[in-house]
Amino acid sequence: MQHWSIENIILNLKYTWKISRNATDQKINLIVDLKEGKYSGKGEAAPNIRYQETPELLASQFELFRSKVPEHFPSDDAFIEFLDELKLANALRFAIESAWHHLQADRNKISVSEQLNLSDPGTIETAYTIPIMDPSVLRDFYNQNKLDRFSYLKVKINTDEGFEVLRYLSSFTGQPILLDPNEAFSDVEALIYFLEKIKKFKIEMVEQPMPAGMDEEYKYLKKYSPFPLFADESILHEADFGYLKTMFHGVNVKLMKAGGYMNAISLLKKAKEQGMKTMIGCMVETSLGISCGIHLCSLADYADLDSFLLVKDEPFRLIEENEGKIRLIS
């Protein structure tokens, strides 16, 4: 007999996590646990207010799920169909689906990657994300966190200090930068001017600089941007990639947005079929959630899976990081 449960987990952060729309020193995630005899699986939900997700909403939806879930499913597909019918928040749906797959892998005595019919991810290079901060403290932050060990730096900016942050950061490091304004820009002409202004810096890509829904502005921006543009907030659990590629060169797929392993795999493959670049991203998560992202890295050109390093006293210890590279601990 299967037993499902959920609990809140409070994540205290090593420093203030600030992006263009909010800042926090603490995060509340939810851990879904599934047990069946001697077998078990866990999944993590990282609710994001940008998508109208709160811990309270997810806990309420989990009770709905638990009241309706049958004791047995004849197949993985039947379980996925059941989840689809419930219309759960994407982060919760992912946590439930991942707990299911993790239990199946445990039962079958195989890795989660094998359970998902994916290649072993091996060792992955991840970017490290620098939150918004005063440029004057940037060098100390860089040195204290030994960021020279990472192949890429992901840099959060707002419209006010973005140029100064990039100018100062580029004065002491030549690492490629993944620039992430988190929808901070609203004027496409001002954005194009800004991008031209930062052309001399080593920018690898620019991720979601304007709000989702500004389709005509993004089509215009793509013609004039000196850097590849990646969609983040513009892609959730579904996307028309033929249309999306008229606005972006690549996509950031996050399991918490995709609502599950199987849908994320489908999104990544469809993006590739349209000639788009792919990234595996994350919310603020423990190594449980990040380990899930690692399993999908064979389908991605970039990995941004560093947030477990932001968590004080990270509880699961499922990942080893060495010299900016991460791998699953067996």
Strand 325-328's sheet: what is its strand order? 124-125, 325-328, 319-322
CA dihedral of residues 190, 195, 196, 201 (deg, nearest 10)? 150
82: which residues sit within 8 A by CB, 6+ positions away?
A: 69, 70, 73
Is residue 249 a contact partner of residue 222, using CB atoms and an 8 Å limit? yes
Q: Give the residue ranges of DSSP H helices in 69-130.
A: 76-86, 90-108, 112-115
Q: What are phi and psi of 213, to 5 degrees?
A: 100, -15
Residue 327: its pLDDT value, please?
Answer: 98
Residue 109: its pLDDT value, please?
Answer: 97
E-strand ranges in the chain read 2-19, 22-36, 39-45, 124-125, 127-130, 152-156, 177-180, 203-207, 229-231, 250-254, 277-281, 302-303, 319-322, 325-328
Kind of pairing, strands 302-303 and 177-180? unpaired
Residue 1: its pLDDT value, please?
Answer: 84
Q: Which two tokens stand for residue 98?
A: 């991942």
Is residue 257 a contact partner of residue 236, using CB atoms and an 8 Å limit? yes
**pTM for the whole thing?**
0.96
Residue 330: its pLDDT value, please?
Answer: 76
HSE-CB for 192 with a 13 A CA cutoff? 12
Domains identified in the chain and CATH numbers: 2-111 (3.30.390.10), 124-328 (3.20.20.120)
d(CA 43, CA 203): 34
Q: Which two tokens stand for residue 249?
A: 């060169």
Is residue 191 a contact partner of residue 224, using CB atoms and an 8 Å limit? no
Q: What is the pLDDT along the chain (330 residues), one digit of tens a residue?
A: 899 999 999 999 999 999 999 999 999 999 999 999 999 999 999 999 999 999 999 999 999 999 999 988 888 899 999 999 999 999 999 999 999 999 999 999 999 999 999 999 999 999 999 999 999 999 999 999 999 999 999 999 999 999 999 999 999 999 999 999 999 999 999 999 999 999 999 999 999 999 999 999 999 999 999 999 999 999 999 999 999 999 999 999 999 999 999 999 999 999 999 999 999 999 999 999 999 999 999 999 999 999 999 999 999 999 999 999 999 997
3-state secondary structure 181-243: CCCCCCCHHHHHHHHHHCCCCCEEEEECCCCCCCHHHHHHHHHHCCCCEEECCCCCCCCCHHH
Amino acid, single-letter form, for residue 153: L
